[in-house]
Structure 1
Amino acid sequence: MEANEDIKPIIIKENVSREAYIKYLSIERKLPVNIRLINGKIIAYE
């Protein structure tokens, strides 16, 4: 079993535009988790 199988994504917010996501990243530069924008959802990973 791989370690990545235990990691489950957490949806932080839905219906987010790319522009709003980029603006958020420019303000919050040091986050304790990795986040991604996927299909309008901000998803956090450990």
Structure 2
Amino acid sequence: MNKKILVTKSSMPNLDEYVEEIKDLWDTHWLTNMEIKHDYLE
């Protein structure tokens, strides 16, 4: 087990999955509290 764990490197999602997840935000233009993803992400 020579895999390094870098504590300064962020864990990033797959870009395509991320874009698909936030697509609703672009469709609604709602980027404030209580928007469509609020409960899901909380």
| TM-score normalized by the length of structure 2 | 0.28
Larger radius of gyration: 2
Which protein is richer in helix relative to its size? 2
Which protein is richer in strand relative to its size? 1
**Which structure is richer in relative contact order (CA contacts within 8 A, separation 6 or more)?**
1
